[in-house]
Amino acid sequence: VGNNSPIVKALMDARRNGKQVTAVVELKARFDEERNMGWAEEMEKIGVNVVYGFVGLKVHAKLCLVVRREEGGIKSYVHIGTGNYNPGSAKIYTDLGLLTCDPQITADVMGLFNVMTGYAVRDKYERLLVSPNTLRPGLERNIRAEIERHKSEGNGRIIVKCNQLVDQDMIKLLYEASQAGVKVDCLIRGICCLKPGIPGVSENITVRSILGKFLEHGRVYWFGPLEDPVKARCFIGSADMMGRNLDRRIEVVTPILNPVLRTRIAEDVLELQLADNARTWILDSDNHYTKLEPKSAKALVDSQRLTCKKYKEK
């Protein structure tokens, strides 16, 4: 959560105002162990119920649940993000978050908090993909569904945007999608063990990496035509396609159910970043990256700059 965290201060203010507050603090957070311990001790002093991680699994999910008594009864609100609740990284990372009151998603998050706090055992969720139980099979199911849709309708499309792509089973499945004719575009900021452009194996796969002013940190998994967000399925969350994320951590990936929000992700994130030619490096089948150069100054597309401009104007 970083230093001078407004999130932690808000939680402490809520507790001082008589609200029940629970915080799951991961002590194995890289670079933040000491800060997290300090904040946990401060919260405990004023009566916050602090849970120190989960035995055997690192908690990497980014979740916030608020339960309110309103005129119509009890209502829950959830935030699910791709990045930490850290004001420092929020200034230099690109991330995505979903704020929703969808009853199935909020019930899933409440159930997961009950698991992490030791009040329940649960391995099935209505909407969320949660590792180590349902995330891997959920992503596999969506990849296979897009392969089958392509066979019947054509125009198959998968877009993977994450930090690392190294899991062998996921790579094999993406190769299978490519061999079936599905177009697969990967936006991988860090390590990528998939080899694109191999004839008969991955000729329908491209791999890009955007290295700009901000560190690309969002995770998006898109299945279906990018030009038809109503038909497509879209997920965001905390997990990369790595064995540790899929099998050895508590991660959460949520579906984006609202087609208006899917359209925003398609246009403001995926289409824009796939068109970027200012900060993009292209991976070839020999594991070499080549910087993409615009054909002219007028053709320059800097996705990060354009995103900043758009939301600054708003």
60 is catalytic: yes
Q: How far apart are CA 168 and CA 295, in angstroms?
A: 36
Per-residue pLDDT of the chain (314 residues; tens, 9 = 90+): 666 788 899 999 999 999 999 999 887 755 566 777 778 888 999 999 999 878 889 999 999 999 999 999 999 999 999 998 888 889 999 999 999 999 999 999 999 999 999 888 888 999 999 999 999 999 999 999 999 999 999 999 999 999 999 999 999 999 999 999 999 999 999 999 999 999 999 999 999 999 999 999 999 999 999 999 999 999 999 999 999 999 999 999 999 999 999 999 999 999 999 999 999 999 999 999 999 998 887 789 999 999 999 988 76
Q: pTM of the predicted model, to two decimals?
A: 0.95
**Whole-number pLDDT of residue 198:** 97
* Given 60, 79, 150, 217, the catalytic residue: 60
Q: Do domains 6-127 and 131-313 have the same CATH topology?
A: yes
pLDDT value of residue 56: 87
Say what the pLDDT of residue 264 is. Answer: 97
Q: What is the per-residue pLDDT for 30? A: 59
Q: Look at the domain 6-127 and name its fold.
A: Endonuclease; Chain A (3.30.870)
pLDDT at residue number 1: 62
pLDDT of res. 246: 98
Domain residue spans of the chain: 6-127, 131-313
131-313 CATH pick, 3.30.450.20, 3.40.50.12780, 3.40.980.10, 3.30.870.10: 3.30.870.10
